Amino acid sequence: MTWRVVVALSFTALTLLSPSRLVAQAHNVMSQGHHKLLEADSTAKQAREAIKQSNKVRKALGRYRYELSQSDTAEAQSTLRQAISDHTLQLHHWEAQGLKLRQDSAVQKTESLKLLRAGMIANWSSWISQPGPLRGAELTSPLDNRSHNSPQRSVHRNMPTPRSDTELQSAEGMSLQVSALAGQQLPEGLDTGSFSVSRQRKIFAHIELIQDRSQFVPINQLHRWRLILSSLDGEAITDGQVRFGGHMPGHVHGLPTQPIIEAGSAPGVYEISGVKFQMGGWWVIELELETSVGSDSVRFNVVL
């Protein structure tokens, strides 16, 4: 049975259970996701080892080719050509192995996140109303927002200039010139999902906008968010101390406000008030967490 069928059956079955069995089954689904995530991490580690091995073989190949160019005896040249042939085969093997393991890890991670997501949605169904991506309503065409020229971090006369063609401009209400704006580039395949695994693999989190009539994140308005924190096995994290931060990659500024985080109306549920994004573009929300399962961090990407 494929993982897609397993996830679909798991989510369908969860909706048909009694409340107590629903909680138990939701925990079970998230535990499966946790196990699959550990598999993905293990496979990714094997991929890194294969890539390291291919790099070693590539260096040896370079060394043998140089020695062959300097060799002046037929016997030495024959030995070196054989070594080059053997190492070329090894290089192809390790490169193929590394690529396959990386692809396997990506598939396993996708499987794990689908299971974790399904379990959390079932367990917190009364509080999760917006499971979709984090985005702005106006994003109907390729991103054409403007960002500060990231290579030019400082315009002080005593600081070295990373590039000679950086254009400076004056801004109203500012006494210093700032870098001219340039188009912000989104990484290919940027994840804007509202569910995320923490950096240390201790916490699974969901974040969504609390707004009655729209699922889209507004610009230049104060708004509130709902945050749900769980262990990767489905246990609500009720003692979380959360620090909410945000910034725009390529810019030199963060959020214009200092959001406040408070415990919500259910275990594992928190409410964040005073959030504001002052311009469109790619924002990164970074949450620093202190909980009973340890210190960790989780991030979300928002495109407005």
Q: Which two tokens stand for residue 121?
A: 């949605």
Mean pLDDT of the chain: 83
Q: Note the pLDDT of residue 214.
A: 63
Interval 53-57 mean pLDDT: 97
pLDDT of 155 strictly over 70:
no
CA distances from residue 159 to 153, 154, 176, 179 in whole angstroms, order as listed: 10, 7, 14, 14
Residue 156 banded pLDDT, cuts 50, 70, 90: very low
Q: Crossing angle of helices 19-70/3-14, nearest 10°?
A: 160
Query: Tens digits of per-residue pLDDT, 179-220?
Result: 544 456 778 888 999 999 999 999 999 999 987 666 678 888
CB 241 within 8 A of CB 284: no
Give the pTM. 0.76
Tell me whether residue 164 is exposed, middle or buried, using C-beta atoms within 10 angstroms of its C-beta: 0 to 12, 13 to 18, 19 or more: exposed
Task: Give the residue with greater pLDDT, 288 vs 156.
Answer: 288
The domain limits of the chain are 3-123, 154-183, 195-303
The contacts of residue 169 (CB under 8 Å, 6+ apart) are 177, 178, 179, 180
> What kind of architecture, by CATH, is found in domain 195-303?
Sandwich (2.60)
Query: Tens digits of per-residue pLDDT, 215-243?
Result: 678 888 888 999 999 999 999 999 889 99
CB 118 within 8 A of CB 11: yes
Interval 147-156 mean pLDDT: 41
Q: Side by side, which strands form the sheet with 241-247?
A: 241-247, 282-291, 294-303
DSSP type of residue 218 = P
